[in-house]
A = this chain, B = another copy of it.
């Protein structure tokens, strides 16, 4: 085995379990005598460019375990796509520090960053193992059955909808909840996990995989009001019209360096849809909430399965890079074809997960395009764990 120093960093949107992956990789590396120094770069590649590091051999095991159980990115994060010039600057720093193992935890944009750096390293004949460790609450990485971070965010969404549906039962009317996920509907679909009884919400689920029309939406809401006397709606922040233009894009122009439109951190979409329901469906009590950043950062409610898988994804990356001496790759979570739920971790080429994302498969979306199927529920249930039981009086059940 080649002896060398290691550098690890976190990138993109935080999650409840991204620190599990960090700590999994760090502890695996600390136990391996082929690894020398372990640098943690602050705020992703920005920290490499700025040469701001911490020494991850210096932190106590107790601190590492506590950080693992803490939401958000403990090393700080960044949304920055490296230019060719950035790559040159990054190499200069990596060479100086004698880095042989580079790990980057993040989503598809982060995988793209690792891919760019790896391609440049190959061109320059600079020997470094470049590995991407998957993380995204959007669950939109190709090659993965699901991604670390999704299960916990899905758990938050399912719990939130469960409580909100009971709230709506108490006071009635229409409740619209806007959920994260960009162009993939998985997290919004997780709202359906809240359902215990047939008349439970969400009664409607709108995903970015299907074109959204105001006319169809109003018609659906009216039908739900007629059937249930109320209506709880889960809407993806990324819903788009038939031309693929995000509905929210009519309200915001902000984009990041990867060209993504700002979808989160604003209540505009929910407020627009509430206005539409009030005016076009003639319903008086209409409320909209946008779950926002709590979906990825709420402490104390992570899915135990998700936390464990995130940890193991970090360990798998170190195994591939250090023990198996692979030169590059992305760790992919694969579901075992067994009846009992289980996963394995494969190493796939960086380009197979970088940049492009995946969306919900057709079998997870109902025919009308306004809810999920049982196949989705079966897929997602093991990822979120058992939800708090919510009870109703026997005499009030349908």
Q: In the docked arrangement, what's the CA distance between A82 and B338, Å? A: 60
The total of chain A residues at the interface (CB under 8 A) is: 70
B169 touches A76 (CB 8 A): yes
Q: In the docked arrangement, what's the CA distance between A271 and B391, Å? A: 36
Cβ contact of A271, chosen from B70, B78, B266, B274, cutoff 8 A? B266
Q: In the docked arrangement, what's the CA distance between A344 and B175, Å? A: 38
Q: Which residue of B lies closest to A16 (CB)?
A: B163
Q: A59-93, CB under 8 A of B: which get 1 and which 0?
A: 11001001101111111111100000000000000
A69 touches B289 (CB 8 A): no
Q: Which B residues are CB-close (under 8 A) to A40?
A: 393
Tell me if A395 is interfacial: C-beta within 8 Å of chain B. Answer: yes
Q: A364-398, CB under 8 A of B: which get 1 and which 0?
A: 00000000000000000000000111111111100
Q: A134-166, CB under 8 A of B: which get 1 and which 0?
A: 000000000000000000000000011011101
Tell me if A298 is interfacial: C-beta within 8 Å of chain B. Answer: yes
A159 touches B390 (CB 8 A): no
Tell me if A223 is interfacial: C-beta within 8 Å of chain B. Answer: no
B287 touches A264 (CB 8 A): yes
With A54-B395, A72-B166 as contacts: A299 and B159 at CB distance below 8 Å = yes
Q: Which residue of B lies closest to A167 (CB)?
A: B297
Tell me if A170 is interfacial: C-beta within 8 Å of chain B. Answer: yes
Tell me if A294 is interfacial: C-beta within 8 Å of chain B. Answer: yes
Q: In the docked arrangement, what's the CA distance between A169 and B66, Å? A: 17
Tell me if A6 is interfacial: C-beta within 8 Å of chain B. Answer: no
Q: In the docked arrangement, what's the CA distance between A393 and B40, Å? A: 11
Tell me if A234 is interfacial: C-beta within 8 Å of chain B. Answer: no
B163 touches A299 (CB 8 A): yes
B393 touches A297 (CB 8 A): no
Shortest CB distance A133–B (Å): 16
Tell me if A291 is interfacial: C-beta within 8 Å of chain B. Answer: yes
Tell me if A303 is interfacial: C-beta within 8 Å of chain B. Answer: no
Q: Which B residues are CB-close (under 8 A) to A54?
A: 393, 395-396
Cβ contact of A77, chosen from B58, B160, B170, B293, cutoff 8 A? B170
B294 touches A70 (CB 8 A): no
Tell me if A202 is interfacial: C-beta within 8 Å of chain B. Answer: no
Q: In the docked arrangement, what's the CA distance between A396 and B70, Å? A: 15
Q: A289-325, CB under 8 A of B: which get 1 and which 0?
A: 1111110111111000000000000000000000000
With A287-B265, A288-B267, A289-B292 as contacts: A163 and B393 at CB distance below 8 Å = no
With A70-B390, A170-B76 as contacts: A293 and B297 at CB distance below 8 Å = no
A72 touches B394 (CB 8 A): no
Binding site for B on A (CB under 8 A): 10, 13-14, 16, 40, 42-43, 54-55, 58-60, 63, 66-67, 69-79, 159-160, 162-164, 166-167, 169-171, 175, 264-268, 270-271, 274, 286-294, 296-301, 387-396
20 extra A-B contacts, CB within 8 A, seeds A67-B391, A266-B287: A10-B170, A13-B171, A14-B167, A54-B393, A59-B394, A63-B391, A63-B394, A66-B391, A71-B163, A72-B170, A76-B170, A76-B171, A77-B170, A162-B299, A167-B297, A266-B270, A266-B288, A267-B271, A289-B294, A300-B387
